[in-house]
Amino acid sequence: MGWKEAAEPVLTRMPAVRRPEGHVPFKRKLMWTVGILMLYFFLTNVTLFGLQAGQANDLFGEFRAILAGSQGSVLQVGIGPIVTASIVLQLLGGANLLGLDTDDPRDQVLYQGLQKLLVVLMVILTGLPMVFAGGFLPAQQSLQLGGLSFGQTQVQILMFAQIFVGGVLILYMDEVVSKWGVGSGIGLFIIAGVSQRLVTGFIQPAQGGFFFDWYRILTGQVDVGSLLSTGGLQTILIGDGHIIALLTTLLIFGIVVYAESVRIEIPLSHARVKGARGRFPVKLIYASVLPMILVRAVQANVQFLGQILNRQLGNMPSWLGTYSAQGQPTGGFFYYVAPIYSPNDWMWFSANVAQEWWQVLIRISIDVTFMVVGGAIFAIFWVETTDMGPESTAKQIQNSGMQIPGFRQNVGVIEKVMERYIPQVTIIGGALVGLLAVWANMLGTIGGISGTGLLLAVSITYKLYEEIAEEQMMEMHPMMREMFGGD
């Protein structure tokens, strides 16, 4: 008996959101999407019952915009388990260890069940250390609930149960949006988190808010000094002026929107309908920016491991990692593989960096290499596992009745034409996105959003706009929905 036969009774019984029967009107899709978004914001503001106030240490602090969720809330783990499970499945699928054919309906059910089971396991493996490792989510010493009294261990179990429920909830919230709403839940949650931090970065009435800090500068509450001096320039460009952060934010918006419009268009014509022509676009960012979540998730898990080892071992070997009182890596392996989060992490000529210049350069080199190479590799995995590769694309074109003018109507011929463009564009686009993410992190952005988070938010928003426009067009012209295989 193979693993599929043994696991089938469990995987096929995993709870799933029922697919809609027939076409879902656009207004109803929009209602589902807005409803799930409101539920997401509500859950991010539900504090874990039993958490000791003001003592939590966010393990995913710098990755929070990407992994969504909120520190100390029911959605503590965010979309981290979903992303990690996707990485594991992509690696297993890429190595052809699963033996699943995604074109087979039976194997599709097994794949979706396996993904849900992995997500549940990742929620457990991520939530347990956060609650029981000590210091990350400290529980109250005792708790009274009605007539019941709970000790610290019982409170920790209660907190873990809340995290577990939140992790499972966000899994099914994503599935509801994917089947009944517009876009994907993961993308929606990332946009929500990044947009919230971006708006806060502009308008918050405290130090760090763009408009508030400029009010302080213009009213003389901040001593800028001479703009010709190094200190004055640093204050305006990097410090309270946030000029570089503003320019970086605007440039990322412009570059991503421009890159989304750069494409190679392969002409198509209908084999039976004379005069019916179209084009198949191969975008520069063909695999989208979503593979960057996978790259950053790997880095987040590495840093997560370092934080746990630091807490449990106390004094780690210096070559493995040294940590500050705030829990940030300051040397060793975990320092060099830590991503660059802001200008303060690499400007060794400032007072914020205690490391030598050569140590900072090694860290920058590793981060750039990991993001560029990792972006290209995960982009290839993404394309192959989401049926966007040359073979799958050729089958889709063939099944739609289209062909490439001047070539025979044959799947193999179309596949060879696609192989000239898709693999190369996928690698270039993935590497470019990785480079942009590191560049944005090094220069900083408004609201302290990571470069990857901002890239994801802009790209997902652009694609969401395209999907909404397409849905509205299908709603206005039902014949187009039938032509493109809609329900």
Domains of the chain: 3-13+24-181 (1.10.3370.10), 217-483 (1.10.3370.10)
DSSP letters spanning 109-126: HHHHHHHHHHHHHHHHHH
Q: Provide the CA 325 distance to its chain's centre, in angstroms.
A: 29
For residue 249, the Cα-to-chain-centroid distance in whole angstroms is 18
Supply the angle between the helices 451-476 and 422-443 in degrees, to the nearest 10. 130
Q: What angle do CA 334, 337, 339 make, to 5 degrees?
A: 115
How far is Cα 333 from Cα 299, in angstroms, rounded to an integer? 13
Q: Is the pTM of this model over 0.85?
A: no
pLDDT of 487 reads: 52
Both structure tokens of 112: 């979706």
Phi/psi at 139 (5° precision): -95, 155
pLDDT score, position 486: 53
Q: Please give the span between the terminal C-alpha atoms of the chain, in angstroms, as a whole number.
A: 38
Q: Is 345 helix (H, G, I), strand (E, B) or coil?
A: helix
10 Å Cβ neighbour count for 216? 14
pLDDT digits 0-9 by tens, 316-368 = 788 898 888 777 889 999 999 999 888 888 876 665 777 888 999 999 999 99
Return the SS3 of 197.
Answer: helix
Environment class of 347 (CB within 10 Å of its CB; exposed 0-12, middle 13-18, buried 19+):
middle
Q: Specify the 3-state DSSP secondary structure of 144.
A: strand
User: What are 357's two structure tokens?
Assistant: 């210049």
Instruction: Give the per-residue pLDDT at 138.
Output: 84
Q: Which pLDDT score is estimated for 273?
A: 66
Between helix 80-94 and helix 152-180 the angle, nearest 10°, is 60
Phi, psi of 192 (to 5 degrees): -60, -50
Residue 420 is classified by DSSP as T
Instruction: State the pLDDT at residue 234.
Output: 76
Closest by alpha carbon to 82, among 165, 166, 167, 191? 167
86's CB contacts (< 8 A; 6+ apart) are 115, 294
Alpha-helical regions (H) of 133-267: 152-180, 185-203, 210-218, 230-237, 243-261
Tell me which residue has tokens 């062909």: 403
Q: Is the distance from CB of 37 to CB of 192 less than 8 angstroms?
A: yes
What tokens appear for 72 in the block?
A: 């100390």
Amino acid 59: pLDDT: 65
Report whether 171 contacts 43 (CB < 8 A): no
What residue ranges of the chain have pLDDT lower than 70? 1, 54-62, 94-95, 102, 134-135, 227-231, 271-276, 314, 348-351, 476-487
User: Is residue 181 within 8 Å of 36, Cβ to Cβ?
Assistant: yes
Q: Residue 448 — φ and ψ, nearest 5°?
A: 65, 25
- b/e code 50-71 from CB counts within 10 Å (16+ = b): bbbeeebebbbebbbbbbbbbb
- Name, in order, each residue with C-beta under 8 angstroms of 126's C-beta and a sequence gap of 6 or more: 77, 80, 81, 84, 167, 304
Question: Rounded distance, CA 404 to CA 423, Å?
Answer: 19
Question: What backbone phi and psi angles, to 5 degrees, belong to 265?
Answer: -105, 115
Residue-level pLDDT at 1:
55
Looking at residue 72, its pLDDT comes to: 86
SS3 151: strand
pLDDT at res. 224: 78
Q: What is the pLDDT of residue 459?
A: 86
* Cα–Cα distance for residue pair 92/82, rounded to 1 Å: 15
Distance between CA atoms of residues 458 and 255, nearest Å: 10
How far is the C-alpha of 434 from the C-alpha of 372, rounded, in Å?
5
Neighbours of 24 (CB within 10 A): 17
- The answer to whether 285 touches 429, Cβ cutoff 8 Å, is yes
Tell which residue, 59, 299, 289, has the closest CA to residue 186. Answer: 289
The predicted pLDDT at position 167 comes to 94
Cα 312 to Cα 324: distance, rounded to the nearest angstrom: 15
Q: Are strands 329-331 and 322-323 parallel, antiparallel or unpaired?
A: antiparallel
